Amino acid sequence: MLMATLSFVKWSAPHAPHAPTHQGADVSAAEIRPVVAGCHPDPSICRVGADYYLVTSSFTYFPGLPVHRSRDLVRWERVGHVLADPAHVDLAGLDVSDGVWAPTIRHHDGLFHVVYTVAEHRRGRATFVSTATDPAGPWSPPVDLGADGIDPSLFFDADGRAWFTAARDALSADATGPAEIYLREFDHRALRLVGPSSVLWHGAVAGAWAEAPHLYRRGDVYHLLAAEGGTERNHAVTAATAHSPTGPYTTDPRSPLLTHRHLGAGAAVQNVGHADLVDTPEGDTWAVVLGVRPLDGGHTLGREVFLVPVSWAPEGPVFAPGTGTLADPDGLAGHRPPDDDAPADWVGLRGPAAHRWDGADLALAPAPDELASLGRPAFLGRRQDRHHCAFAATVPAPAPDSADGHVGLVAFQHQDRHVAQRVRRAPGGDVVVETVLRSGGAHTVLARRPGTDRQRLEIRSDGRHYSFGTVTDGVLDVHATVDARLLSTEDAGGFVGVLLGVAHQGPAEAPWAAVEDVTYAGRYA
């Protein structure tokens, strides 16, 4: 059980007006922090002038493809979403870990381009490109590129030509693995792929899936980065080089260039991979990569964005020079991500949830779809971004004639793996507060207590447990506690982290729920 009170200590780093430089620092593995915390996988980055822009996968969360901006590569603010119009993306009926995968952001000739895949049943269904002159939006309606596979990327060469790369099932007879990286020319004025498809590479690790390709040019050499080994503990960054964008490519014999697979189960950051590079105005190179922060072998926060210094050798990029791991991110001393809470990026499932905010008060319309369905439930959640956190709100009981409805808080990992602390009416009209686990296709009531017409609910996490209860006069009465591994990716599967949110199930014509004083507080251990 958690104690009745928690102290959330704020920490603020000094302002860093410029990107960090590759100078000495001593940051232990236990202290390393993501630069974008919570479930923000598959980061891609570009720079325009002094500003850096970052996009990440959003799966079936809506709005989709959050866009972040930074001046120092460490402090990021969300400025918009590529997929903010529900007419621009169809997420109906998709598993939580399908949906919008692995975007790439690039800027060319005054225009931002984001390419991405919409996946279904863990396979690419269609690949799109959207454009904008302002990364905050509006973004253009998606254009279907008719491309195979997943993890698309764009490369704009110095000669004015543009190239599209992606990963797909291996088609060529000489394939050494199940996937191949392929390339086609991209007509960036017409927003379409032209010309033949060229197979570039099958990866550095025989028998491993090669994905997440990004192409760069350094002098007369083209460098192709990829991710191999799967997205879990064997995840790694590998590379190949060529003297033409179409190849032939030679595997960089130093591969993998970055991985934590060899550090063992005790490593503070694991699953490291999916790198994208950016140069600072001063000429330094940095990589954004994904990684997870597990506790006791499981992670609940999802895949987060970490920053890694990169130098260049004659053979190609050197990640984290001198260490080869994220455990000593040279250059981040004095520029570390702050401990205070970033503004929430509230998202719905598979589409928008009808709601209104008034400060910290939320009015949430009901919907008949359950969280356990593949529909569009009335759910509004934010990514959990700290192991130690508390999420609370004052929740009304449904109207006396709403026996089928309920309102409450949810720790949500998947449609078939979440825990809800919900307020409902019993058949006789009495208010009850239930803690309900959804798992294995069934709902299990973990606790049931009498409630009131307005009830303050709270979910607390210490990283290893989630506790659910009611609050009276500032004191938490814990009704139920569950092992955090139940909500971990290792146990539940998929690619996402926990969302903490508010849900309102009931007939569409029922009154909106007036949820008051929605609060979230988190701290690093």
Both tokens of 522, joined, read 């988190």
| 180 classed as catalytic | no
CA angle 223, 226, 229 (to 5 degrees): 145
Q: Looking at 95, 185, 211, 330, which residue is catalytic?
A: 211
Buried b (16+ CB within 10 A) or exposed e, 159-175: eeebbbbbbbebeeeee
Q: CB under 8 Å to 438, separation ≥6 — which residues?
A: 371, 372, 415, 416, 417, 418, 419, 420, 444
Backbone CA torsion sign across 210, 316, 252, 309: negative
Q: Can you read off the two tokens belonging to residue 185?
A: 């020319």
For residue 42, indicate whether it is catalytic: yes
3-class secondary structure, 108 = strand
> If you write DSSP's letter for every residue of 170-183 in order, what string do you get?
--STT-SSSEEEEE
Nearest to 513 by CA among 522, 525, 501, 498: 501
Alpha carbon separation from 80 to 54, 116, 118, 130 (Å, rounded):
11, 16, 19, 14
Q: Where are the beta strands (DSSP E) in 336-384?
A: 348-349, 355-358, 361-364, 379-383
Place of tokens 């001046």: 71
Give the active site residues: 42, 211
